Every structure is written in structure tokens, then in C-alpha cells.
Chain A
């Protein structure tokens, strides 16, 4: 997949226009690292790539790569995305992600999905269940409660796309959760990569996920304030 910048960058490097990143003081080109978990065939690598394209379209430097292995459907797959306002030199794996996206909840008790995720980290899980139902209630102690979000991404994908592929949907959720990229950029990246109904469906599902997460974050925030 190749994405070409149309003439100049849409946004000058260093500015984060249209996004609401809470990763650091607004306007600072901080390094933000995301780790995606899923299974082979679920588009985990594509998710990381598209995120990097979205960041690129916003004029930022971005790098995406999988944790490599032979082609094998169904096996656990990990992919990474680094986003920065300045040139990214390292190609080492991401040890300490700022955000973790879990595309397939069946991995939850099989693989150490939260390795390296610090107390300021974000967690986005594709599931229709609640965190407590999944045995993840304890995470709220480690992370900020409002930074842990679930999205029924597979259901949304089925509804908007007709196929149970949740990867792009989750990018919409991620944009809402941590603002590292804007929803507009995600949608633009989708339209660069896909065409026709697939692009439209993905964009719509991502937008819906964005709306859901924004709403959920507001609710969680209210609860956090209420319990403070």
C-alpha cells in the first residue's frame, strides 16, 4: 500500500491539527507507541499500517511493523505503530506502548497483552462484554479508569461492512480514546487504502466507534470525578 502526500503536508510537522491527543501537552511532538494484538487473518498488521498512514497524512512521522513470523491464520499476531513529531530512527520493537489495542479478546488469558503498558497507558479492547466480565476489573487499579475502553468492534463491522473484520473500526475508537490521530485522518487513510463500499463501510464503522468511545470516555470521566 502506498500513500502519497498531496503536494505539501496537510499539516506542518509538529502541529497536531484536529486531534485531541492527551498523550502530552498539546503541540509537543511526543513519541506515541501503539501495540496491536490479534490473530492472523484479522488485519492486525493493516491496522498498524493504516494508523501510520493517518499520522502521515497529519504531517507526522510514523512507523508501523509486525512482529514477524511465517504466514499462519489463527496464530497470535502483534503489530506496532510509532508516531512522532520528529524523525523516528529506531526500528527496535516497542517495549513500552502508550496504548494497547486488542482485536481478539480470546487472547486475553493466553498472551501477556499488557506487558510494558505503563500507568498512563490506554487500552482498547474489542468485546461486547464488560471489563469485569472478562476478568479485567483489576486493570482499573493499574491504569486510569477512563483510559480503558471496550468497543463492540466486530459487531459494528458486521453492521457497517457485512464482515467481521474489526481492525479499522478500532482505529476510530483509538482516535477517540487518545487522540493520537484525528478521525478525519483515519477516514482519509481508509479511503486511500480501500475503495467503494469497503472504504465507505469501514469509514462509517470507524466513525461510529469514535462516537461510542467519546461517549463512554465522558461517562467514565464523570464516574472518576464522582468517585474522587
Chain B
């Protein structure tokens, strides 16, 4: 049903329709509204047969989800940033055990310095954990991906994470067609576990595996991700049949057919990139966009095909690997390793820095004019950086860099306009 509502609430509504049986989460900005809304549904008995557990840490949150899932219950949690790191041992554990937990990751920067705004550094920290990781471009997709996530997770016995940009999507009020209970029930059957703790048929789950078998057990995780690569597109297709709109899949493309420069990105920045693309195309530039929805498993073939014969690929990413460069671009680079395209990484939007259409147009024009270097930090204030580097070179006790930079910028309160 078409509604105008906050992204968090749309997602909460979708999750509630998926009939989770155990919901356990620890509050962290900017995921709070999602969990609060689900909690209210449970308390008001709108969502029945569900235990909503107020856990004492994110580590506990994922642990409770693991216990619940292993006992045959559909389990859900949500977190961001620091919370994801705090539960990371359990995140790997869930994937290693093959438990179909679904989690919302409201993407937020990882500190230090502490920052509550959006970027993708949190997701990047767990990209090898074995979870399926789906990125939403807007709140409609975010809502729909959660429904697909439960179905995918339970079919494959693999946990699935839906990434949506913190604040930018979670706290944006916009038009969303929120799934109805009937639609979701028709799409998502009750959970039938592949393994379950049941006194009637005891099994031991989580035993130690030594060198003689570890490779094989881990290879099975790889095989499941490859299965996911097949199923993600199919599940999106089945979703389209049931809900009447396309959402999800491995990648989305925009004007790539004749593009000489293709821009690749994850998440909500794709919207602004598409606006910039329209502007450039109106002036005759052949620019195209590939949005990656399935970040893990990484769609090497689909991406390769979408990029085609473009001579330049620009990866706009909201994370980076210190001292090295991009994170997403490394994956993209692998996809195009046999293509003629040259790759540039544009690191943008770290810690919630706005990525504007004007800024992007400037970068894309540089790409078109072969003026874009291999690694660029968009909107970097080089003077500020150089001043701090000079301070550090000049005196041993130069003090905390973050405070020095803030003082230099004359910022008295973060977020001041």
C-alpha cells in the first residue's frame, strides 16, 4: 500500500510482515527507529508469536539471534557501525554455522574519530564473513530487500544483511509501497530449518573442525555464496511477480549501453549519480551507471557484462582502505581485469559528508576528459590536512589530530550549519 513514511518505519513494517519469531537488538544510531517500531508492534500484539528481547549489547543481539535460529525460529536483528564491530565474532559465527539470520545494517562510519553519519566502512569490515550483503538504493528497495532477504536466507541456510544508508535512508520520509501481510505470506513460507536443536532428534552443532576437514567445510560456504549468485536474481524475479515491481537482483544499470564512462556505486548515492548522469547526457556526454545491489556475493560476471566496452570506470565509494585506496574498487577491478577499461576510485561521502550533484558532475567531467587520477578524495580540503601534517612534523606533542582539525576549521559544534 502506497504510503508516505520514514524509511525506518517502512522497513519495520516489512519485517513485521515477515513474521519474525525472535527480534533482539541493541540501540545504536541510526537504526533505533526500525527496532523501536518493531518493538511497538510486538508490544501492541500487532505482531504475534514473537519475542522482542532487549539485549545488553550488540554481541548479545547476534548471539540471541544465533540461539533462536538454531532452535528453528525466524530471527532478526539490526545494527550499525561500532555495534557491528562489537558483534563481529558472532557475525562470522552465524555465517559459519549456516544460520539464516536477517539483519539490517544502517550504514554508519566507524570511528575513531566517532561519527554517527553515513558511510560504508561498517559494511566493508564484514565483507568476508560469509553473509549475503544486499545494498538498497532507496527506501522502496530497502523495504523490498528485507522480504527477499528472509526468503533467500532460509532457502540457502545463510545469513543475509540488508544495508541501507544510515540517516540518509533510515530517517528520510518518502513514498514507499509497503508490502501487505497477504503479499508477504504468499511469498515467504514458514521457516523450515536445515538443522535444528530438537530433543527428539539430537544433533551437535558447532564442533571444532581440524586441519583435515576445515577447508572442505569452508568451501561449502563458498559454494553457498555461488548458489546465492544464482538465486538472488531469481528471487527478485519471483518478488516482481508477487508484488508487481522490480526490486533487488544483482546489479541495476542506467544508460550503460553506449557509455564511454561507467560509474559504479553502492547505496543511496546512486540517486544523485543518476541525476548527474542525466545532466551530462543532456550535454552529449556518454555516461552510464551500474548500481551494485548484491555486494556479497560479488556479481563479477554481471558487472563485467554491464560495463561492456566502456573505456573508463569510475567507482564512487563511501569507504577506503587506509594507505591503499578503495575497497569496492578492488572488487570492481577484478571484474574488469580482462577489459580495456581503466579504473579510477573516487572516495566520497565519508562520515556523512554530502555528495552533491555538482561535485559529481565535476568528477565525471574530469573522467571524460582523462583528468581523473587513479585515486581521488572528493571535496578533500588539502590545506587543512597539510596544516595538521606540518603541526605533526613540527612538534612531538602536537595533540589529537581530530581536535586540531576541528579547531582549524572553526567548527564549534558538529552539524552546525
Binds B, one of A15-23, A63-71, A195-203: A63-71
Asked if A89 and B6 make an inter-chain contact with CB atoms under 8 angstroms apart, the answer reads no
Convert A1-16 into 0s and 1s, putting 1 for each residue whose CB lies closer than 8 angstroms to a CB of B: 1111100010000000
Q: Report which residue of B171, B173, B414 has the largest number of chain A beta carbons within 10 angstroms of its beta carbon.
A: B173
- In the complex formed, the residue of A with least CB distance to B174 is A63
CA–CA, A92 and B168, complex, Å: 8
User: Which residues of B (176-194) have their CB < 8 Å from a CB of A?
Assistant: 178
Residues of A within 8 A of B168 (CB): 65, 91
Which of A1, A9, A57, A78 is the one whose CB lies under 8 Å from B5? A1
Which of B1, B271, B354 is the one whose CB lies under 8 Å from A89? B271
Residues of A within 8 A of B174 (CB): 52, 61-64, 88
Asked if A49 and B173 make an inter-chain contact with CB atoms under 8 angstroms apart, the answer reads yes
Assess whether B2 is interfacial by the CB under 8 Å rule: yes
User: Which residues of B (80-100) have their CB < 8 Å from a CB of A?
Assistant: none
CA–CA, A142 and B280, complex, Å: 30
- Knowing A65-B172, A95-B356, say if A3 contacts B272 (CB, 8 Å): no
Residues of B within 8 A of A91 (CB): 138, 165, 168-169, 172, 268-269, 271-272
Asked if A92 and B272 make an inter-chain contact with CB atoms under 8 angstroms apart, the answer reads yes
Assess whether B417 is interfacial by the CB under 8 Å rule: yes
CA–CA, A2 and B269, complex, Å: 25
- Knowing A53-B4, A92-B272, say if A65 contacts B175 (CB, 8 Å): no
Residues of A within 8 A of B375 (CB): none
Residues of B within 8 A of A115 (CB): 417
Assess whether B274 is interfacial by the CB under 8 Å rule: yes
Which of A48, A56, A89 is the one whose CB lies under 8 Å from B175? A56
- Knowing A67-B415, A68-B116, A112-B417, say if A89 contacts B275 (CB, 8 Å): yes
Assess whether B130 is interfacial by the CB under 8 Å rule: no
Assess whether B355 is interfacial by the CB under 8 Å rule: yes
User: Which residues of A (8-67) have their CB < 8 Å from a CB of B?
Assistant: 9, 37, 48-49, 52-53, 56-57, 61-67
Query: Smallest Cβ distance from B315 to chain A, in angstroms?
Result: 18
Assess whether B167 is interfacial by the CB under 8 Å rule: yes
Chain B residues touching A, range: 35 or more
Residues of A within 8 A of B4 (CB): 2-3, 52-53, 56-57, 62
Residues of A within 8 A of B155 (CB): none
Residues of B within 8 A of A152 (CB): none
Assess whether B309 is interfacial by the CB under 8 Å rule: no
- Knowing A52-B173, A63-B174, A88-B174, say if A2 contacts B417 (CB, 8 Å): no
User: Which residues of B (1-18) have their CB < 8 Å from a CB of A?
Assistant: 1-6, 9, 13
Assess whether A93 is interfacial by the CB under 8 Å rule: yes
Convert A104-134 into 0s and 1s, putting 1 for each residue whose CB lies closer than 8 angstroms to a CB of B: 0000000110010000000000000000000
Convert A66-97 into 0s and 1s, putting 1 for each residue whose CB lies closer than 8 angstroms to a CB of B: 11111000011010000000001111110100
Asked if A111 and B274 make an inter-chain contact with CB atoms under 8 angstroms apart, the answer reads no
Convert B146-182 into 0s and 1s, putting 1 for each residue whose CB lies closer than 8 angstroms to a CB of A: 0000000000000000000101110111110010000
- Knowing A2-B9, A91-B272, say if A64 contacts B172 (CB, 8 Å): yes
Query: Smallest Cβ distance from B263 to chain A, in angstroms?
Result: 14
Residues of A within 8 A of B355 (CB): 92
Convert B352-373 into 0s and 1s, putting 1 for each residue whose CB lies closer than 8 angstroms to a CB of A: 1011111000000000000000
Query: Smallest Cβ distance from A42 to chain B, in angstroms?
Result: 15
CA–CA, A56 and B1, complex, Å: 13
- In the complex formed, the residue of A with least CB distance to B30 is A68
Asked if B117 and A68 make an inter-chain contact with CB atoms under 8 angstroms apart, the answer reads yes
CA–CA, A209 and B384, complex, Å: 47
Query: Smallest Cβ distance from A226 to chain B, in angstroms?
Result: 37
CA–CA, A182 and B413, complex, Å: 37
- In the complex formed, the residue of B with least CB distance to A2 is B5
- In the complex formed, the residue of A with least CB distance to B2 is A5
Assess whether B57 is interfacial by the CB under 8 Å rule: no
Assess whether B416 is interfacial by the CB under 8 Å rule: yes
Assess whether B404 is interfacial by the CB under 8 Å rule: no
Query: Smallest Cβ distance from A117 to chain B, in angstroms?
Result: 13
CA–CA, A68 and B417, complex, Å: 11
Query: Smallest Cβ distance from B16 to chain A, in angstroms?
Result: 12
- In the complex formed, the residue of B with least CB distance to A54 is B4
Assess whether B29 is interfacial by the CB under 8 Å rule: yes
Asked if B417 and A92 make an inter-chain contact with CB atoms under 8 angstroms apart, the answer reads no
- In the complex formed, the residue of B with least CB distance to A57 is B4
On B, residues with C-beta under 8 Å from A are 1-6, 9, 13, 29-30, 116-117, 138, 165, 167-169, 171-175, 178, 268-272, 274-275, 352, 354-358, 413-417
On A, residues with C-beta under 8 Å from B are 1-5, 9, 37, 48-49, 52-53, 56-57, 61-70, 75-76, 78, 88-93, 95, 111-112, 115
Known: A3-B5, A67-B417, A90-B357. 19 other contacts (CB 8 A): A2-B3, A2-B4, A2-B9, A4-B1, A4-B2, A5-B3, A56-B175, A63-B173, A64-B172, A66-B171, A70-B116, A89-B271, A90-B272, A90-B275, A91-B169, A91-B271, A93-B356, A95-B356, A115-B417
12 contacts between A and B (CB under 8 A): A2-B9, A56-B4, A56-B175, A64-B172, A65-B168, A65-B172, A70-B29, A89-B272, A91-B269, A95-B356, A111-B416, A115-B417
